[in-house]
């Protein structure tokens, strides 16, 4: 397996498929998953001639289960370590949920200053600020986030099953086409990671104000979200992202859930490809 060691000594696992001279697409996964969440997209874009890369966030998947650094700054720095190790240039960065926050911080702090990024895609992403505050009145009340922490701490295995069975993919909606394999794969990825990383990651994805990250991004950004996202409400995410970004294209999908890159991969993949090649 392939790993890169960060400046603070953390081993980060990554996948790197395809021709080394092809345009790279870097995928950033959501909480509490791993690079495996992007397998459908990686195979699709590999078949289109791209080089595809994805890494496991620290404490997630096959990366080191370290005690510290479960915050957006370290997430972005770790992503940059992978990019610099592979010397990726003219890259497209695609992030889902927490991975979208990771993309925003990476592009603003590393990708643009280093002239390594061409475009970005935010899918059902957490910026600018998920938690409810005076600046984010439509955000999630802190008691909801405390409930996530309590559920994880009490019985992480059952909590992860409940999330995958319910709001993440919209499988709790009447008439939903439920995929047992998708549920089991979500659970598998989550349970591979560290409970501490997942617990502290809730604060990272919900209480990190990324307003300035979004404002700083000048490369073209495709913003995608479903209007039935039960995890990150689109009015507090995609709509605000589009307003804060300098060069964005917004698309809202009627009825699509938080994990729409899986439930509607054919549509999402086609729209990302059109954005990349357009």
- pLDDT band at 138; cut points 50, 70, 90: confident
Catalytic positions are 97, 229, 258
Strand partners, 117: 91
* Distance, CA of 193 to CA of 171 (rounded, Å): 24
CA-based Rg of the chain, rounded to a whole angstrom?
A: 17
Asked if pLDDT for residue 1 goes beyond 90, the answer is no
The pLDDT tens digits of the residues spanning 3-57 come to 999 999 999 999 999 999 999 999 999 999 999 999 999 999 999 999 999 999 9
pLDDT in tens, 194-236: 999 999 999 999 999 999 999 999 999 999 999 999 999 999 9
Q: What are phi and psi of 131, to 5 degrees?
A: -75, 150
What are the chain's domains?
A: 2-277 (3.40.50.1820)
- pLDDT > 90? residue 134: no
Average pLDDT over residues 151-158: 98
Q: What is the pLDDT of residues 241-272, one digit of tens each?
A: 999 999 999 999 999 999 999 999 999 999 99
Task: Give the CA-trace dihedral at 168, 208, 59, 24, to 10 degrees.
Answer: 80
- Alpha-carbon distance of 251 to 119, in angstroms, equals 16
What are the structure tokens assigned to 43, written together? 């195979």
Over residues 101-116, the pLDDT tens digits come to 999 999 999 999 999 9
Among 41, 35, 5, 178, which Cα is nearest to 99's?
A: 35
Asked if pLDDT for residue 137 goes beyond 90, the answer is no
Structure tokens at 179: 């995929």
**Residue 113 buriedness (CB in 10 A; 0-12 / 13-18 / 19+):** exposed
């Amino acid at each position: 397996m392939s790993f890169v060691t960060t400046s603070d000594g953390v081993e980060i696992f990554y996948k790197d498929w395809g021709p080394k001279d092809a345009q790279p697409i870097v995928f950033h996964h959501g909480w509490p998953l791993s690079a495996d969440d992007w397998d459908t997209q990686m195979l699709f874009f590999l078949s289109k001639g791209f080089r595809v890369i994805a890494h496991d966030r620290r404490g997630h998947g096959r990366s080191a289960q370290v005690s510290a650094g479960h915050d957006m700054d370290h997430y972005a720095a770790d992503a940059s370590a992978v990019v610099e190790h592979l010397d990726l240039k003219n890259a497209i960065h695609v992030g889902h949920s927490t991975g979208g926050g990771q993309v925003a911080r990476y592009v603003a702090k590393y990708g643009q200053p280093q002239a390594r990024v061409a475009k970005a895609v935010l899918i059902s992403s957490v910026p600018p600020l998920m938690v409810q505050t005076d600046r984010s009145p439509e955000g999630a009340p802190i008691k909801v986030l405390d409930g996530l922490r309590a559920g994880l701490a009490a019985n992480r295995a059952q909590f992860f099953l409940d999330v995958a069975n319910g709001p993440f993919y919209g499988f709790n909606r009447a008439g939903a086409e439920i995929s047992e394999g998708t549920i089991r794969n979500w659970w598998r990825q989550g349970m591979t990671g560290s409970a501490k990383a997942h617990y502290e990651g809730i604060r990272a994805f919900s209480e990190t104000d990324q307003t300035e990250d979004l404002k700083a991004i000048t490369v073209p950004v495709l913003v995608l979200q479903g209007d039935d996202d039960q995890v990150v409400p689109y009015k507090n995410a995609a709509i605000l992202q589009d307003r804060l970004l300098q060069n964005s294209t917004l698309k809202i999908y009627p009825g699509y859930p938080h994990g729409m890159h899986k439930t509607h991969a054919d549509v999402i993949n086609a729209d990302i490809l059109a954005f990349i090649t357009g």
